[in-house]
Structure 1
Amino acid sequence: MGNQKATIENLVPSVKCDADVITVSMSRCLLTTLGYDYTSISINGNSSNLCNYVYEDHVNGTVFENIQTQLKEGFCGNNVTKNSSIYILSNNVHISPIQVGNIITKNPVSLNFNCTYDLTKQVSVNYTLHPISQTIYLPGVNGTGSYPLTMSAYKDPEYITQLQETDNVPIGELVYVSLNVLAVDGDLFALRTVQCVASGTDSRTGGVNLLAGGCKVDNSDIYVNVSENGVSLESRFSFSMFQFQDQTQLYLFCDVLLCDKTANCSRGPSTRSEVVVAALVLGGEIEEAP
């Protein structure tokens, strides 16, 4: 900024509108210069771990603080306005001032942001009310940090239309499963799904392995395909729906871990403590194919 003194008017966040997540970025140096605590950044002042995950990024020698929100109405206070052609998501980033002792000399600041999506072109925006998904927390490499991991089931290979709680899935129909971790530096880390077991009950005991060692398990009766694993912050695989005798639902249990890209991300975990179990119940009932 040369010799000009920075003011609050200079604090304009950069907003990146992706198909499944919105990323808001701000200069750490500018925040500190203006007297604001970059570690206090949150979406809408929400103290939930899902809404205050901040991670740093380095661009041309400048450190930026990034925070993300999912494209879901109500997530961290998201507001959505939509019609048949436009989808607008709006919210704000809340930042507290730096406090020295018990002295506070500034008010917190809230910076509004929004993303507008043209639904006639951007078909991957999803605003279904009750998708089949679950969010848990994944520990970082070497036990540092904790990051939100979402496991979701989709109807299509583009991973656009999520299965709903009331959807009935015919036997033999393909189900597409995504595991995605947020607030992690994708240049340094990758998500690896080590094992996935399908069961007819809420226990993996007696279930069928779909993935083992990060690879599909060959089974002449069940189709399984791994399209992405251990190379990015998302793991994807698909399988053909099947049914256990006398059971009308299918439960998925997946062991996942966050790995360092500089290491061999294709290896299995060295200890059981490295993995976290994500579980998902496919909604509705399994039905016979017509």
Structure 2
Amino acid sequence: MQPSDRKICLICTHTLSLSDVFGCSPLCADDEICENRHNIPTCECNSSIYNGKTTADVKPSVTCESNVMTISVSKCLLQYLHYDYTSLQLNTNSTNCIYIYTEIINNQSMLSVQAAVQSEWCGNIVTNGSSKISYTNTLYIEPLGLPGTGTNNLAFPFTCTYNNTSDIPGSTTVLDSVTGGGSYTARMTAYRDSSFTIKIQNGDFVEIESDIYLGISVSEADGNKLALTVTECIASPTMNRSDLNTVQLMSQGCAYPSAVHTEVISNGESLEATIRIQSFQFRGYSSVNIFCNVTLCGIGECTGCLSARTLPGNAGELAVALQLQDSFFSSTAFHKAVPKVVMVGALFAFVFNKHF
């Protein structure tokens, strides 16, 4: 091959000859120009485009997805205004909370930062209304500190709002009263906080090794006579609770001593039972399904472990399904910075009734 036939190679280290055709690939954004930096085609900001601009012209854009908030700001405008575009940070500045990546949006070179839609994630502030739940964080940008430039940080609060009551993973079952006189509906719901207020909705995620909370309750029953008891819980990678890979979480009313940490917070004492489970992933599977058997007992009859007791003859089964994905962030580089698999609330809610 003759020298005049050689093509540009961004990875190669050969020196460009005069006959080489110089150009950046991929193409630069509209606010960039292609420069020769040590014989390497490099996209650099074209500051002349932003002549006369001030900090009032810095207007970040926010994208709200089901499990992530993304805030983006013009890289070249920040550079023109002498702000350090590598200093972007959220309310909490740690390696687990910040990853800055460049992308082209509307033909402009933009810097983007992603925030997980999760309570207490890296300084998120949660506002929980009756029908809406909002997640707020703040993007901070520091000045370069050059003589004659501004000295104040830029701060941009941003918020994403989601429905709070629809599409919540969970299921219901009907339980007969042990005292006679009717039947009652029991429901199991997954939460992300110990106060059982922030429900895990379809599309939400839970990081592996963080806690999920199961709340099981019975409506319209007489709490002076009846109590709800969870007798058993198991986890399966499939919708089959008899799958060979199932893991026991609870047995006979108490936490089962398995590799998955489970805490029975309350059980058999009232019309509500609460359980904490450390989230985990089945190797090679993309879902986790949790099945729990529940029953109604008379007050004081089914507290504690039940190995020596005879359970009532009627019980129901509740289930929640959780789907797994590789990362709640679209950037693979961020996934490398925070190498955690996440669980996402599934679109399934399925119910079984058992009589035994």
Q: Answer 1 or 2: higher relative contact order, Cα 8 Å, separation at least 6.
A: 1
Q: 1:192 to 1:87 in 2, by over 3 A?
A: closer
Q: For residues 189 and 163 of structure 1, what CA distance do their matches in structure 2 show?
A: 28
1:67-87 CA deviation, whole Å, 9 max, x = no partner? Answer: xxxxxxxxxxxxxxxxx8975
Q: Return the alpha-carbon distance in structure 2 between the equivalents of residues 173 and 194 of structure 1.
A: 24
Aligned twin of 2:147? none
Q: Residue 194 of structure 2 aligns with which residue? A: 157
Q: Which residue of 2 aligns with 1:279?
A: 319
Amino acid in the other structure paired with 1:282: L
Q: For 1:185, give the aligned amino acid.
A: D
Residue number among 337, 340, 345 corresponding to 1:289 in the alignment: 340
Q: Which amino acid aligns with 1:233?
A: L
The answer on 1:256 being equivalent to 2:288 is: no
One-letter amino acid of the counterpart of residue 179, structure 1: I
Counterpart of 1:245? 283
CA distance in 1, matches of 2:264, 2:311: 23
Letter in 1 for 2:192: K
Distance 2:283 2:129 in 1: 45
State the Cα RMSD in Å.
2.6
Change (3 A) 1:199 1:143: farther
Asked whether the 8 Å contact 1:251–1:280 carries over to 2, the reply is yes
Aligned-partner SS, 2:301: coil
1:145–1:286 distance in 2 versus 1, CA, 3 Å: farther
> In 2, Cα distance between the equivalents of 1:196 and 1:208?
9
In structure 2, what is the equivalent of residue 224 of structure 1? 262
Please tell me whether residue 212 in structure 1 is matched to residue 263 in structure 2: no
Deviation at 1:173, TM superposition (A): 1.4
| Deviation sequence 1:38-80 (CA, Å, 0-9, x none) | xxxxxxxxxxxxxxxxxxxxxxxxxxxxxxxxxxxxxxxxxxx
Give distance in 1, aligned partners of 2:206 and 2:284: 16
Structure 2 residue corresponding to 1:139, chosen from 142, 158, 176? 176
The CA deviation at 1:177 is: 0.4
CA distance 1:246–1:182, shift in 2 (3 Å): same
Corresponding residue for 2:228? Answer: 191
Contact 1:163–1:283, Cα closer than 8 Å, also in 2: no
Percent identity of paired positions between Structure 1 and Structure 2: 28
Gaps of 5+ in 1: 1-83, 89-125
1:166 aligned counterpart, secondary structure? coil
Letter in 2 for 1:156: D
1:100 is matched with: none
1:105-145, Cα deviation, whole Å (9 max, x unpaired): xxxxxxxxxxxxxxxxxxxxx93321112122112115642
Q: Write the distance in 2 (CA, Å) between the matches of 1:86 and 1:257.
A: 32
Distance, in Å, in 1 between the alignment partners of 2:289 and 2:172 is: 15
Q: State TM-score, norm by structure 1.
A: 0.53
- Identify if the C-alpha distance between structure 1 residues 156 and 209 changes in structure 2 by more than 3 Å, giving closer, same or farther: same
Aligned length: 169
Whole-Å Cα distance in 2 between the matches of residues 259 and 226 of structure 1? Answer: 17
Amino acid at match of 1:212: S
Larger mean Cα displacement after TM superposition, 233-242 or 255-264: 255-264
- 1:211-233: CA deviation from partner (whole Å, max 9, x where unpaired): 101110122x3211111000010
Q: 1:273 to 1:214 in 2, by over 3 A?
A: same
